[in-house]
Structure 1
């Protein structure tokens, strides 16, 4: 099974160690993992900001680089949702691109969804132990239906205790450029999320989107919380946390 890994901008630029954890998990699952070296952005920032031309250029680039693979795995609900559902809008006036995208679309999976529902992973290369809570990122949850999958995988780790925080499905306030345009609102939202994390009593919050990760971790640290760990689910499942 040839799997193309779409690394995502934030992992590549901010947390490359997460990318290596993803590769470790996919190879453990028996996949032949390929990482196209020229890949860049999925186009979501431009698309959400109204720059359709730039977003389409990036979508075409992604299509060229990944349409050869049996599956495309994305360790981010927001990038996965963009590729899986919004490229059709960008390609709507081009039948040739529409056809190529129609073949790619069903092969695109968020990481935990792929591990649970495609390869049906039975065991994990991890000895992680700890008390955690899980934050459901907006795009992964609402666009891709990622909810039970990460929890099913975490349940395979006997040393992990999961306590659900209040409002685990509520937004963290990041929202890409939303956090830049509406900083005060974003801060109020992430403060509620941080309070929910604290209310769970967990030592770490685990999630599947690096945008949420950076936003929550940044706010925790700025408000003096130096002890609560913020971890991508790939790090936990791969034993790299």
Structure 2
């Protein structure tokens, strides 16, 4: 099985350990992993109305991963962009929310292999659980609270997959916090456009984390985690914040 790992911009530039962890997990499950030359998935451009730039980035990704059986991303946000929103880029609709996005694409504009590419895209935990039926091999003692990111949860139904994996980690205890499914306030460009509101939402999430009694916060989207970690440090709190790939691969030492 040839798996293309789409690293994502934030992982590449801010926390490469997430990418190495994802690579380790996929290889330990028996996958042949390749990392083609890649750039942004196009989500910031798409959300800002720069559809031509987003189309160019989508075409680049589709071509780069053409010879992969699957395309796996350690990000529900970027995976959602590729799997659910790429078709909307090449159709008359401005958004794919709440629709069957694999229908209605303008064939005259859509790149060859668009629908096939979208079907091959998976978020990491969904791929580990539902395609590979993977059981984590690492031990990582501690109580972990899991934050559900908006795109992963609402676009891709990523809910039980990361929790199933966490429960299988030796020594790990899943400690749910209230409003785990609520937005963290990041929202990509939202946090830049509405910083006060963004921080207020994050502070509510940080309070829920503290009330849970968890030793660390875990999530599947680095954007959310960086936003929440920043607020925690602003509050003088040193609660560890990990991407789930790091926990599953046993890469939780800083």
Question: Normalised by the size of structure 1, how large is the TM-score?
Answer: 0.96
Residue 38 of structure 2 corresponds to: 39
Q: Summarize deviations over 1:69-116 as a string: whole Å, max 9, x none.
A: 100001000000000011101122344635511111111000000000
Show structure 1 runs of 5+ residues with no match.
Answer: none
Query: Given that residues 133 and 200 in structure 1 are in contact (C-alpha distance below 8 angstroms), is that contact kept between their aligned partners in structure 2?
Result: yes
3-state secondary structure, aligned to 1:202: coil
Match of 1:183 among 176, 195, 204: 195
Give unpaired runs (5+ residues) of structure 2.
Answer: 92-105
Aligned residues: 238
SS at structure 1 position matched to 2:170 = coil
Partner of 2:173 in structure 1? 161
CA contact (8 A) 2:184 2:228 kept: yes
| Whole-angstrom distance in 2 between the partners of 1:99 and 1:63 | 9
What is aligned with 1:21? 21
Check whether the contact 1:4–1:66 (CA below 8 A) recurs between aligned residues. yes
TM-score if structure 2 supplies the norm length? Answer: 0.92
Higher fraction of helix: 1
CA distance in 2, matches of 1:97, 1:125: 41
Match of 1:198 among 204, 210, 213: 210
Output the aligned Cα RMSD: 1.0
Hey, what's the Cα distance between the residues in 1 that align with 2:111 and 2:51? 16
2:139 corresponds to 1:127: yes
**Alignment match of 2:110 (pick from 74, 79, 97):** 97
In structure 2, the CA distance between the partners of 1:43 and 1:11, relative to structure 1 (3 Å rule), is: same
For the 8 Å contact 2:138–2:170, the answer to whether it is kept is no
